[in-house]
Amino acid sequence: MLAKRIIPCLDVRDGQTVKGINFVNIRAAGDPVELGAAYAGQGADELVYLDITASVERRGTFVELVERVAQTLNIPFTVGGGIRNEEDVACLLAAGADKISVNTAAVNCPELVETLARRFGSQCVVVAIDTKRTPEGDLVYIHGGRTPTERRTQEWAREVVNRGAGEILLTSMDHDGTKNGFALEITRELAESLPIPVIASGGAGSKEHFVEVFKVGKADAALAASVFHFGEIPIPELKRHLRTNRIEVRL
């Protein structure tokens, strides 16, 4: 059995790590390089850095930050936000990122997923899906959760798998920042139906929520931000709790 992964997410705006609730009400959380190094030391399996305003303001993810992170970290990390084309990806991977995450650009041009997978390999391509439950079903949002689309989450996930995505980063906008638990139903639906790993994001508030998302949600990895940034759940303590609940993790 593959070990489940714990992934702190660092949302970056203007060079600082920030965190919000339901994608708004943003507050500062610290230096992204220093925080990343601390998480690596605590036993995080991977990190995700997201430039949360890049696709809205039409600017690319900061290559300089990626270079600093790569020089500091000894664990894999993914970078996303404002990635528009394969040249952006080539630049970020050359700067030291292990994977890239695309959301808005992939929805606007689904062929981009194929292009990236073919040039850089599926293992580098993470498709981030921001999902929200609506009367019409689970729908995909873009532009950092600001713009609704008509795409159904489940159908879009299947499409990007067919186009060559290597992982899905599934964020529930309804749960994001609430600390009320992950969106277990849709996480399980995708995890059980897709042949690639699903990373669950949005709603972590306790160690038990992580147990639930692995046991009930069947996620391959769990991503969280504020519970790590503000010291509410130490990673070593979380991993010991998961082991106690017979969930395989790297200690």
Q: Do the Cβ atoms of 82 and 108 come closer than 8 Å?
A: no
Q: Which of 11, 138, 176, 220 is catalytic?
A: 11
Q: What is the DSSP string of 163-232?
A: TT-SEEEEEETTTTTT-S---HHHHHHHHHH-SS-EEEES---SHHHHHHHHHTS--SEEEESHHHHTTS
| 174 belongs to the catalytic site | no
Distance between CA atoms of residues 28 and 19, nearest Å: 7
Q: Do the Cβ atoms of 166 and 126 come closer than 8 Å?
A: yes
Q: Which of 45, 88, 130, 176 is catalytic?
A: 130
| 220 belongs to the catalytic site | no
- What torsion do the CA atoms of 196, 202, 205, 210 make, to the nearest 10 degrees? -10
Q: Do the Cβ atoms of 85 and 60 come closer than 8 Å?
A: no
Distance between CA atoms of residues 182 and 1, nearest Å: 22
Distance between CA atoms of residues 57 and 103, nearest Å: 15
The residue assigned the tokens 């992982």 is: 167
Distance between CA atoms of residues 160 and 157, nearest Å: 5
Q: State the number of CA atoms in the 13 A half-sphere of 243 facing the CB.
A: 9
- For the annotated catalytic residues, the residue numbers are 11, 130
